[in-house]
Amino acid sequence: MTDLRPIPRIASPFAVDVTLPGSKSIALRHLLMSALADGPTHLTGIPRCDDVDAMFEALKRLGVRVEREGKSACLRPPATPFASDVVLDLGMSGVSLRLLLAHAALRTSTTRFTGHRQLHQRPNADLLEALETLGCVIESNEGRLPIAVTGPASPIAKTTLATEVTSQYLSGLMLSAPGLPAGLTIALKGARTSASYIGVTKTEMARRGIRVETPDESTVVVSPGTYRGGDVLIEGDASAATYHAALATLHGGRITLTNLGDSTRQGDYAFLDLCERMGAAVSRTPDQVTIKGPATPQPVGDADMADMPDAAPTLMAMAPFLPTPTHITGLATLRVKECDRIACGAKELRKAGVRVEEFDAALTIHPADALRPAGFDTYEDHRMAMALSVVASKVGGCVIHGADCVAKTYADYWEDFDRVCRPDGSH
């Protein structure tokens, strides 16, 4: 990408209301459930982003009828299971890939997966091993794209899944399990990562009439069944909320997020607790939240981000402006995201003069009295771009290269960012 975006230093107080894009994670789950529903599903609050576009296109290729208008869509599952071989291009969407890999187990024909070169680097071996146990025939490049999955005529109702790399594997298996003739029992092995996302999957499945049982901490049981169609509203994206919460906290501003409240199950909502530790005043209702930043941010010290890894780059961006070193742990999954967010994040902060200590699954970021303007690289990673905008908003004179990659999950980010930077509407 060659798109450049100068980032001004925020110098004026701001008080703005922001309507977040709908949660990408929740939207992708409901799109897949709608393909397996008992009738049409009407979704509202769909985010405008590349990942969702990729899922829509994939479902169309799988025979789902889609009528889409703005932030709403109606999906009608095929009357009979789609039986032809098909090729699905998932672009850069790792979540869509993992969810649809599991979905391929429901089809006795062959589903071939491809995508952007960046997606070819994402690991999938543990999920593919679990699918082989079900009876799928797999072709892959050592667990990476290109991948072909041919589903079994008589799938086995039990499998084992390693859970150290990403929770997306388990979410994929859970979401497609009701479509298997005898359901699915999943034995989990290894450490759990991003457990909050499994809670989201379980909650959203329950909204559509499917219960997930967990008889013990290492077993997940999903009975066969059919998802309900009908009307579904998708709440605001808690990961997107972290950038606005960070701006309010660092600049002493006020931001109200109009479509996300404490009724959510999204793990990244806990980022607001970190903002409170920094001195922000956070006012919550079931449907919205207001963040008012302090005059001077307070130290966080140690922060474990294992249950909200997508929010870790946002905390990395805030850490140089806190009065004491910030030690951020629980970052193992950041090594295998769109880029290595530990190494790349450290590199970009150092460009501005930040002292960063890098460990296998952790970072220590030291306070910086005076930072220098820098040209930041995004590595085609949407979260890097949005997090770096937080850093740049304090430094001034910075440029972000490849800024348009925010379209992966938050196509309107720069428009919303400008409303904070220029609350009077000036440009």
pTM of the model: 0.90
Give the closest residue to 212 by CA, choosing from 294, 204, 146. Answer: 204
Helix spans in 150-278 (H)? 168-176, 195-207, 238-251, 271-277
- Complete edge-to-edge strand list for the sheet that includes strand 41-44: 65-69, 72-76, 41-44, 230-233
Give residue 425's pLDDT band: very low, low, confident or very high (50, 70, 90): very low
- Chain segment 253-275, per-residue pLDDT in tens: 999 999 999 999 999 999 999 99
pLDDT of residue 12: 85
* Packing angle, helices 125-134 and 94-103, rounded to 10: 10
Q: In this predicted model, what pLDDT tens digit does every residue of 52-77 receive, in sequence order? A: 999 999 999 999 999 999 999 999 99
What is the predicted pLDDT for the residue at 193? 84
CA 105 to chain CA centroid, nearest Å: 24
| Of the candidates 165, 238, 230, 229, the residue with the CA atom closest to the CA atom of residue 200 | 238
What CATH number was assigned to the domain covering residues 24-222? 3.65.10.10
The CA distance from 86 to 84, in Å, is 6
310 given a catalytic annotation: yes
**Percentage, residues of the chain above pLDDT 90:** 93
Q: Phi first, then psi: give them for residue 150, nearest 5 degrees.
A: -115, 120
Query: Which is the catalytic residue, given 126, 310, 404, 416?
Result: 310
- Are the folds of 4-21+236-421 and 24-222 the same? yes
287 class by beta-carbon count within 10 Å (0-12 exposed, 13-18 middle, 19+ buried): middle
- Bridge partners (DSSP) of residue 150 are 110, 137
Every domain of the chain and the residues it spans? 4-21+236-421, 24-222
Phi, psi (rounded to 5 degrees) for 297: -60, 145
User: What is the H or E stretch that residue 26 is in?
Assistant: helix 24-35
Please state the CATH superfamily assignment of the domain spanning residues 4-21+236-421 in this structure. Enolpyruvate transferase domain (3.65.10.10)
CA distance 356 to 137: 45
Pairing of strands 86-89, 110-114: parallel
Q: Where do runs of H (alpha helix) occur along 180-231?
A: 195-207
